[in-house]
Amino acid sequence: MDGNNNDKTKPKGWKLYKFIDIAEIIGGGTPSKNNPDFWNGNIDWLTVADFNTGRKYVRHAEQKITQLGLEKSSTKILKKGQIIISARGTVGAIAVLEKDMAFNQSNYGINAKDNITFNDFVYYLLKYKLSELKQASYGAVFDTITKSTFENLEILLPPPPEQKAIAYVLSSLDDKIDLLHRQNQTLEKIAETLFRKWFIEDAKDDWEEKFLKDIYIFEKGFEPGSKNYIEEKGTNTVRFIRVGDMLNPNGEVFIDKRLAVKTCKEDDLLVSFDGTVGRVIFGIEGAYSSGIRKIYSENPTYDNLGLKYLIFKSKDIQELINSHATGTVILHASSSIDYLSFNFPPEDYIKEFNKLISPIFEKILINKRQIRSLDQMRDALLPKLMSGEIRIMNNE
């Protein structure tokens, strides 16, 4: 609906709308898990775990469904360029699809109405409105937003030329961030190829199998209690990293620095053993939860970041962690630590490998720092552009 143009708080030329007047809300679904004919096909089927990364674009889903699964369930296909937003549990994860994909019922698809706005702008509009959407969520067990949440959401919409200009500025930053992420993925693949060559294909019979617990310290995180969570970063806060936050370079939850009894630096390796087990990350700083272990060795040869990362990401270690996971709703795999082993060559061989891969991981860390800097720049600009505090126009 058109708003009242006499509202003095509105930037000149902007109009007030209900969100449902500018975009279509699309529900998802899940094919029956009891029917194997519905699964392991060639259609990507998104869950929040696939796009809760803080990144603008989602390119693939871990799970796939068949055409029959699509036809025999309430799931739908979202088109490339359309938006997905999580609506239950982890509320507010949001991404733009890089290809056509189906999705589950814990998310909504969003598609802009072409005569009013366009998806690239709506993506940033929703990011701007995330706190409002989260405040409107409800639920005793899981936070939830529904279609009525969007029906009650009011937004100020600038004229189309200004929408394009805003989306262009913010997309330019996100595109640079995405390029750096993809460069890091390429660097990791190069490192994994070298690791496979040096430690798997060229392995010798006289190498020694060692338990990782005899080489590495698995330092467990802690739980400050959700009552101590702080949503906004402050001068006396530190990021608190939960298992679900590990893939997100930006902090979602913060705690008082005085509560941060277990912390990590960007060159520390973190591995998850609860919830989504087997996640292996580095490049983030903060305090970390009890479902995560910080992995380090007192022997500098074994403590090389790249070496640790490649060992814990390796197929055999990942399979061992997952094979010892127990639990129905939340998985627990800390018992796997007693069984994790790796076939190690002599230290001189490891040192030569470390020399080879250390520059790769140093470059990855540099890119991660640049990503954080660009993230902060975009996040600082977003509310100013979306509120009209800063006005820009499309030169066209």
pLDDT tens-digit readout, 79-123: 999 999 999 888 889 999 999 999 999 999 999 998 899 999 999
CA distance 38 to 49: 20
What's the pLDDT at 9? 73
What's the pLDDT at 371? 94
Q: What is the mean pLDDT of residues 318-347?
A: 95
Residue-averaged pLDDT of the chain = 93
Q: Are residues 41 and 142 in the same domain?
A: yes
CB 57 within 8 A of CB 95: yes
Q: For the chain, give percent helix, strand, coil, nearest 5.
A: 40, 20, 40
Question: Does residue 335 sit in helix, strand or coil?
Answer: helix
CA distance 283 to 29: 35
Q: Are residues 31 and 82 in the same domain?
A: yes
Q: What is the mean pLDDT of residues 40-52?
A: 95
Question: Does residue 252 sit in helix, strand or coil?
Answer: coil
Tell the burial category of 288 from Cβ atoms under 10 Å away from its Cβ (0-12, 13-18, 19+): buried
Whether residue 147 is predicted with pLDDT greater than 70 in this model: the reply is yes
Whether residue 70 is predicted with pLDDT greater than 60 in this model: the reply is yes
| pLDDT confidence bin for 207, thresholds 50/70/90 | very high
Q: Are residues 229 and 247 in the same domain?
A: yes
CA distance 97 to 109: 10
Q: Are residues 287 and 357 in the same domain?
A: no
| pLDDT confidence bin for 250, thresholds 50/70/90 | confident
**What are the beta bridge partners of residue 220?**
293
**pLDDT tens sequence across 225-234:** 999 999 888 9
CA 147 to chain centre: 24
Question: Is 323 within a domain?
Answer: yes
What's the pLDDT at 10? 85
Neighbouring residues of 91: CB distance < 8 A, sequence distance ≥ 6: 133, 134, 137, 143, 144, 145
SS3 readout for 146-205: CHHHHHCCEEEECCHHHHHHHHHHHHHHHHHHHHHHHHHHHHHHHHHHHHHHHHHHCCCC
Q: Are residues 56 and 174 in the same domain?
A: no
Neighbouring residues of 205: CB distance < 8 A, sequence distance ≥ 6: none
CA distance 388 to 10: 8
| pLDDT confidence bin for 3, thresholds 50/70/90 | very low
CA-based nearest residue to 25, from 152, 176, 163, 139: 152
Q: Are residues 339 and 355 in the same domain?
A: no
CA angle 281, 143, 29 (to 5 degrees): 85
CA-based nearest residue to 348, from 315, 393, 311, 301: 301
| pLDDT confidence bin for 143, thresholds 50/70/90 | confident
Q: Are residues 172 and 152 in the same domain?
A: no
Domain total for the chain?
A: 3
| pLDDT confidence bin for 8, thresholds 50/70/90 | low
Question: Is 304 within a domain?
Answer: yes
Whether residue 315 is predicted with pLDDT greater than 70 in this model: the reply is yes
CA 135 to chain centre: 21
**What are the beta bridge partners of residue 109?**
26, 84
**What are the beta bridge partners of residue 85?**
94, 108
Whether residue 186 is predicted with pLDDT greater than 80 in this model: the reply is yes
Q: Are residues 28 and 142 in the same domain?
A: yes
Residue in this structure with the two tokens 């298992």, named with its chain if needed: 243
Q: Are residues 179 and 284 in the same domain?
A: no
CB 123 within 8 A of CB 83: yes
Question: Is 5 within a domain?
Answer: no
| pLDDT confidence bin for 395, thresholds 50/70/90 | low
Whether residue 343 is predicted with pLDDT greater than 80 in this model: the reply is yes
The H or E element containing residue 350 is: helix 347-387
CA distance 125 to 19: 10
CA distance 350 to 347: 5
- What CATH number has the domain bearing residue 78? 3.90.220.20
Whether residue 379 is predicted with pLDDT greater than 70 in this model: the reply is yes
CA distance 77 to 338: 44
What's the pLDDT at 141? 56
Question: Is 109 within a domain?
Answer: yes
| pLDDT confidence bin for 45, thresholds 50/70/90 | very high
347-387 vs 305-313: helix axis angle to the nearest 10? 90
Per the structure, the complete domain to which residue 275 belongs is given by 208-344
Q: Are residues 274 and 174 in the same domain?
A: no
Q: Are residues 212 and 326 in the same domain?
A: yes
Token pair of 180, please? 């750096």
Which phi and psi angles does 42 have, rounded to 5°? -120, 15
Q: Are residues 113 and 178 in the same domain?
A: no
| pLDDT confidence bin for 2, thresholds 50/70/90 | very low
